[in-house]
Structure 1
Amino acid sequence: METYQTRAARIMQRINTLAGISEDAHGVTRTFGTAAFLAGRDLVQTWMEAAGLAVRTDGIGNLRARLVSQNPQAKTFVLASHIDTVVNAGKFDGPLGVLLGLDLLETLVKQQVNLPFHVELIAFSDEEGVRFHTTYLGSKVVAGSFDRSLLEKKDAAGISLAQAIAAMGGNTQSLANEAIASHDWLGYFEAHIEQGPVLYERNIPVALVTAIAGQQRVELTWQGMAGHAGTVPMDMRQDALAGAAEFVLAAEQFALARKTEVVATVGKLGVSNSASNVIPGEVTCSLDLRSADAGQLAAAYEALREQAEAIAHRRNLGLSWNLIQQTAPVACDAEMNKLLAEAIAASGYEVVSLVSGAGHDAVPISAVSPATMLFIRCFKGISHNPLEDVELDDLAAALAVADRFLTLLFTQFQTH
């Protein structure tokens, strides 16, 4: 029998090989539907097929491998994460969960386990939402919550989502049929790097995820009056950038005062027709709000909207506030988490409970299935960055926990 170190080393080798497939030569970028994404997906498919799994690509481009139970009444347990990336990404965000899941299924095949339920491994095609600014495309199809109006959305090159799906060999007409029916779900498990510093600072390899923070993303447009930088008096200006800048700091101060309840980020700033000698007349900026508490999230949204409007009024600026995306906070399933906590403790590790500030495919899936997540320690909590890193020992620990979790799950359902 292979050791967890040996298995972890194989996963690490695959992660490094997959990271070599990218849209650019200097980092890891595989956005939905691109040639690099398709090449990466094809590579993962060869590994799945070599493991003896039945594999198919569904209409949205998800890669799906399945082990079938002999039980005619069996439900489906899903192991999953995503294989798309942000631009200039790290190697581990997403692929680690997929390739860890592949190792678990390879082991089940080798051990010829008599499955009490079907097990499906899914490599979701689009979680990050970089190309079309729409997160969870792949998992929403599997959950049966895909909004067909999204097919009309266009990327920066003017290509619609429908056209991108067709170009990658998908089928927009089959999307409704790709969902796992709600009564067929047994559960969902996702392993993922923590994307935060808690485990790194405490030197603990894994953690139990109790909830995933809700998100609200807003695009703000500040409308002032462009003018000559040398001729318009300071007290007569309608400087859109100054208004946006004041709001950036107001959002930071608001969240700092409530740092245990909410986080707020302005990550994008665009100055129209910018020039060093022109007073900015129009500026757009983003606002990303997150909280595990729905009430706190709603209150922060309204409070910051009021602050933005007050800034615009005081500076004689126009303001457009456009909510472009929102997801509610999600609690992981209590029973699944109980089993996962038991697996962590039985593997010899402290059971650390964490709330995920980042979104995951578990969010749409949790609407139709009991869902649980395992966090894995990563270097300084760095994510969405080429410095992303996971130590071999921590990956081996995660494998041990995941193996034990599946064993507990099998035992529970064989006795039912």
Structure 2
Amino acid sequence: MQQEYLARAERIMQRIQQLAAISEDADGVTRTFGTPAFLAGRALVQRWLAAAGLPTRTDGIGNLRARLQSANPAAKTFVLASHIDTVVNAGKFDGPLGVLMGLDLLENLLVQKAELPFHFELIAFSDEEGVRFHTTYLGSKVVAGSFDQALLARPDAAGVTLAQALETMGADAAQIAADAIPAADWLGYFEMHIEQGPVLWERNVPVALVTAIAGQQRVELTFRGMAGHAGTVPMAMRQDALCAAAEFVLTAEQFAQVHGRGLVATVGKLAVSHAASNVIPGEVTCSLDLRSPDEQPLAQAYDYLRSHAEAVAGHRNVTLDWQLVQYTAPVACSQPLNELLAQAIAESGYETIPLVSGAGHDAVPISFVAPATMMFVRCYKGISHNPLENVELSDLAAAVAVADRFIHLLHTQNPTR
């Protein structure tokens, strides 16, 4: 049996390598939503689905969807999914691992000619990372029925709107509302993903049970002061926007360090307008990313840091523009499905390690309409969003075995009905 799982893992790994070869650049893996590389990658996955004998279609947001039907037309639907878009200069595994593991599970069911008590749908979400339009979960929000139609007018950096991008992709935005799976039709949702952290790597355990996904608040801040000559404006008379931003950045770090409890704060972008070595910065824009598995600390951090930014602007005589870009509430995974996944992990001979995901996943919007569970797979040093992403073949084989066991238990116990 172990050899069977190794063989299946090797096939998944080969497909991951083939998909990774399709990229917008040669240095890493870049397949952002709607680009020629994205479309070529999606077409490759679609060929694999068709070769397996699975009917496929692309929906109004560009998701690739395959269906394995139960003999019972009134049965509910269990979804296996992850995403196939990437960040810029990404690794090979973040997203595609879950899609291609899902394909392997359905191929195995077809080989076994298993009698299905419910329908399966495998979805390769088109846009989870949100790189091109600065949105997240576009694909899964369509499936969950929570897509905001106003986003169709949002432009990318080149001025191309989401609606125009969809038209170029051959997708029909008019059908987006009809592409949702009604809440009453869901049986559940299962996402397999690399752990984007070092816990499994350090403990040398191949898989983990995701219990919750941290909430996020993303903010764009702009401090505006007065640009001036670096040699002629006295220090006490300056309106230095960069010094204001720097003070805020350090406070954000210190606040998260002191308050802990899973709260993290990150300033990942800093842009100085008209930067020059001999000019006092007059305008600086920076980002703020707050995450916590608990709603209250997340809200408290947001309120405190906004008040602090306003105070910094006041005492440095600069103005502040504070724009909330994204808010996602923390979500808990389905307890019945998690109990079943924990049973599958234990019966496969592995320690059950519960983890909270600090990264966002498509399971977030889905969890508002369906029971959702996630399994993490051990990743080299927990590195992600980086060409160094890697999953060892033995860990992938173990994850396939656990997923197989989980699907078997779902067939026999069906805890969500």
Name the TM tier (shorter chain). over 0.9
Check conservation: 1:31, 1:85, Cα contact below 8 A: yes
Alignment partner of 1:261 is 2:262:
yes
The alpha-carbon distance between structure 1 residues 161 and 330, as it changes in their structure 2 partners (threshold 3 A), is same
Between the aligned partners of 2:148 and 2:335, the Cα distance in structure 1 is: 29
Unaligned runs of 5+ in 1: none
The alpha-carbon distance between structure 1 residues 307 and 101, as it changes in their structure 2 partners (threshold 3 A), is same
Structure 2 partner of 1:34: 35
3-state DSSP of counterpart to 1:207: strand
Deviation at 1:369, TM superposition (A): 0.4
Structure 1 partner of 2:159: 158
Deviation at 1:80, TM superposition (A): 0.1
Check conservation: 1:214, 1:294, Cα contact below 8 A: yes
Check conservation: 2:371, 2:416, Cα contact below 8 A: no
Structure 2 partner of 1:391: 392
Deviation at 1:413, TM superposition (A): 3.9
Between the aligned partners of 1:149 and 1:301, the Cα distance in structure 2 is: 26
3-state DSSP of counterpart to 1:177: helix
Unaligned runs of 5+ in 2: none
Between the aligned partners of 1:182 and 1:48, the Cα distance in structure 2 is: 26
Deviation at 1:311, TM superposition (A): 1.1
Between the aligned partners of 1:4 and 1:99, the Cα distance in structure 2 is: 14
Between the aligned partners of 2:20 and 2:110, the Cα distance in structure 1 is: 26
Check conservation: 1:116, 1:414, Cα contact below 8 A: no
The one-letter amino acid paired with 2:176 is: L
Between the aligned partners of 1:361 and 1:415, the Cα distance in structure 2 is: 20
Alignment partner of 1:365 is 2:363:
no
Deviation at 1:415, TM superposition (A): 12
The one-letter amino acid paired with 1:373 is: M
Between the aligned partners of 1:218 and 1:306, the Cα distance in structure 2 is: 13
Structure 1 partner of 2:237: 236
3-state DSSP of counterpart to 1:115: coil
| 1:133-189 Cα deviation digits (max 9, x unpaired) | 010000000000000000000000000000000100001100000011110000000
Deviation at 1:261, TM superposition (A): 2.9
Check conservation: 1:216, 1:290, Cα contact below 8 A: yes
Between the aligned partners of 1:213 and 1:303, the Cα distance in structure 2 is: 19
Between the aligned partners of 1:413 and 1:131, the Cα distance in structure 2 is: 39
Check conservation: 1:60, 1:170, Cα contact below 8 A: yes
Check conservation: 1:377, 1:394, Cα contact below 8 A: yes
Deviation at 1:412, TM superposition (A): 1.5
3-state DSSP of counterpart to 1:257: helix
Deviation at 1:84, TM superposition (A): 0.1
Check conservation: 1:264, 1:288, Cα contact below 8 A: yes
Between the aligned partners of 1:4 and 1:317, the Cα distance in structure 2 is: 61
Structure 1 partner of 2:342: 341
The one-letter amino acid paired with 1:140 is: K
Between the aligned partners of 1:23 and 1:8, the Cα distance in structure 2 is: 27
Check conservation: 2:188, 2:416, Cα contact below 8 A: no
3-state DSSP of counterpart to 2:91: coil
Structure 2 partner of 1:69: 70
Task: Return the TM-score normalized by structure 1.
Answer: 0.99
Between the aligned partners of 2:361 and 2:414, the Cα distance in structure 1 is: 27
Deviation at 1:72, TM superposition (A): 2.7
The alpha-carbon distance between structure 1 residues 415 and 159, as it changes in their structure 2 partners (threshold 3 A), is closer
The one-letter amino acid paired with 1:231 is: T
Structure 1 partner of 2:10: 9
Deviation at 1:73, TM superposition (A): 2.0
Structure 1 partner of 2:295: 294
Between the aligned partners of 1:251 and 1:379, the Cα distance in structure 2 is: 29
3-state DSSP of counterpart to 1:12: helix
3-state DSSP of counterpart to 2:259: coil
Structure 1 partner of 2:273: 272
| 1:208-235 Cα deviation digits (max 9, x unpaired) | 0000000000000001000001111111
Structure 2 partner of 1:25: 26
The one-letter amino acid paired with 2:48 is: W
Check conservation: 1:139, 1:365, Cα contact below 8 A: yes
Structure 2 partner of 1:247: 248
| 1:178-211 Cα deviation digits (max 9, x unpaired) | 0111100000000000100111111111000000
Structure 2 partner of 1:204: 205
Alignment partner of 1:86 is 2:87:
yes
The one-letter amino acid paired with 1:376 is: V
Between the aligned partners of 1:247 and 1:394, the Cα distance in structure 2 is: 42
Between the aligned partners of 2:164 and 2:192, the Cα distance in structure 1 is: 32
Deviation at 1:259, TM superposition (A): 2.6
Between the aligned partners of 2:128 and 2:83, the Cα distance in structure 1 is: 6
Structure 1 partner of 2:116: 115
Structure 1 partner of 2:331: 330
Between the aligned partners of 1:397 and 1:415, the Cα distance in structure 2 is: 25
> For structure 1, which segment, 115-124 or 256-265, has the greater mean C-alpha deviation from structure 2 after superposition?
256-265
Between the aligned partners of 1:29 and 1:360, the Cα distance in structure 2 is: 18
| 1:104-156 Cα deviation digits (max 9, x unpaired) | 00100111000000001000000000000010000000000000000000000
Aligned residue pairs, count:
416
3-state DSSP of counterpart to 2:221: strand
- Written as runs of structure 1 = structure 2, the 5 A alignment for 1:160-199 is 160-199=161-200
Check conservation: 1:116, 1:413, Cα contact below 8 A: no
Between the aligned partners of 1:290 and 1:115, the Cα distance in structure 2 is: 39
3-state DSSP of counterpart to 1:72: coil
Task: Return the TM-score normalized by structure 2.
Answer: 0.98
Check conservation: 2:336, 2:415, Cα contact below 8 A: no
Structure 1 partner of 2:127: 126
The one-letter amino acid paired with 2:223 is: W
3-state DSSP of counterpart to 2:325: strand
Seq. identity, %: 74
The one-letter amino acid paired with 1:265 is: T
Check conservation: 1:270, 1:284, Cα contact below 8 A: yes
Between the aligned partners of 2:98 and 2:151, the Cα distance in structure 1 is: 27
3-state DSSP of counterpart to 1:3: helix
Alignment partner of 1:146 is 2:147:
yes
